[in-house]
């Protein structure tokens, strides 16, 4: 694993410490890595929605049913 040195504002550092103190995470590194994973997943979801919206705007219509769109959305959210 690559090591990095980062600085946190006091409120963010306190929040990180509280997450570790509550045994949610064993270290700041674990927590920061989890937050990055969540942000990356969220970005993939946003990108997917953007593509779908752009396609819909260009075509005006979709051949997918509501159920198919919902299933695809749920599948993406569940990673």
**40, part of any domain:** yes
| Count of domains observed in the chain | 1
**59, part of any domain:** yes
Are 54 and 62 contacting, i.e. CB atoms less than 8 angstroms apart? no
Are 64 and 55 contacting, i.e. CB atoms less than 8 angstroms apart? no
Q: Which domain holds residue 39?
A: 10-77
**1, part of any domain:** no
| 7-17: average pLDDT | 96
Q: 39-68: per-residue pLDDT in tens? A: 999 999 999 999 988 888 888 777 889 899
**49, part of any domain:** yes
Whole-Å CA distances, 24 to 36, 41, 74, 77:
16, 20, 26, 22
For residues 33 and 26, what is the distance between their CA atoms, to the nearest angstrom? 12
| pLDDT confidence bin for 33, thresholds 50/70/90 | very high
**52, part of any domain:** yes
**20, part of any domain:** yes
Query: Quick one: tokens of 25?
Result: 């995470």
């Amino acid at each position: 694993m690559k090591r990095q040195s980062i600085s946190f504002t006091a409120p963010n550092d306190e929040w990180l410490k509280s997450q570790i103190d509550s045994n949610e995470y064993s270290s700041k590194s674990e927590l920061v890595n989890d937050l990055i994973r969540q942000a990356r997943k969220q970005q993939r979801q946003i990108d997917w929605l953007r593509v779908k919206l752009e396609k819909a705007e260009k075509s005006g219509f979709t051949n997918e049913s509501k159920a198919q769109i919902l299933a695809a959305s749920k599948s993406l959210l569940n990673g």
